Amino acid sequence: MKVKSMLLAMALPVILLSCVSSKKYKALQADSDNRIRALESTLSACNTDKTNLTAQNASLVKDNGEMNRQIDDLRNQVAFLKENNTQALAQLENMAVISKQQAESIRKSMENIGSKDAYIQTLQQQMAHKDSLNMALVLNLKGAIGNLDDEDINIKVDKGVVYIDISDKLLFKSGSYVVTEKAKIVLGKVATVLKNQPDIEFMVEGHTDNVPYRRDVLLDNWDLSVKRATSVIRILQDEYGMSPQKMAAAGRSEYNPLVDNETKENRALNRRTRIIILPQLDQFFKLLEPVNK
């Protein structure tokens, strides 16, 4: 009995030590497994990044190659154009079409393309300024005329020219070329604005519909359209002091309609008198003259 007790007492520490070592081993094993999995995950992410970077690098290399090819193409085009220009000038010189002095002048002109572009930009700015002046004139006219309906009078700018369309319903009685008293008031307001612009020249055009007309001395719509234009001119000159040197009268008959003449309403639209404020061509051509340096 005593022997068994002694053996048990000797074996117990060994058993306890064995149990403790097994638990530590399992804990260490679990920790090691976790680290391995973390490292494997990191390695996988690195491999993915490496693949993406490799693809990006390949794309950049491809793009760089394409850009280099485009640069080479542009250089070749520039060289080709220079060579062709030189050859063309040489051929012209040899053919005696132009002199060497003229060829040199052309070369200098080609070299001064940049300054020409600047001149063109200046010209465009001046034309834009002229358009602004025309718009200001339109606003002044609309402000002066004021309360008239659009069906009686229309003011617009088209391709640098100011147009004032006044319906014949407002200006004349049917078949007449005598200006009504109401229309004289409107013409007086137009004259007031135009007289403030002493350099302005304008034309008065008469327009009719396509209904045949013949009465007294008037043979047709040509006569009627011209007489209506000259009637307006006389009012502007005699009653409102417009300079006759700045005015012109014309008749367009039925041949420049705004709309077709199929309805009564359309024919009324086509019967109109148009005041066309003409651009100053001499001033325009001055814009085209070289700028003195």
67-125 per-position pLDDT tens digit? 777 777 777 776 666 666 666 666 555 544 556 666 677 666 666 655 556 655 655 55
**Beta-carbon contacts of residue 287 (< 8 Å; ≥ 6 apart):** 123, 126, 127
Mean pLDDT of 130-145: 70
- State yes or no: pLDDT of 62 exceeds 90: no
233 bridge partner residues: none
Tokens of 247: 């005015």
Q: What is the topology classification, in CATH, of domain 120-285?
A: 60s Ribosomal Protein L30; Chain: A; (3.30.1330)
More confident residue, 130 or 188: 188
Task: For strands 153-158 and 247-251, give the pairing.
Answer: unpaired
Rounded CA-CA distance 113/261 in Å is 52
Mean pLDDT for the chain?
76
**Beta-carbon contacts of residue 138 (< 8 Å; ≥ 6 apart):** 155, 156, 157, 162
Rounded CA-CA distance 24/30 in Å is 10
* Residue ranges of the chain assigned to CATH 3.30.1330.60: 120-285
Rounded CA-CA distance 21/166 in Å is 114
Residue type, 80: F
3-state helix, strand, coil in the chain (%, to 5): 65, 10, 20
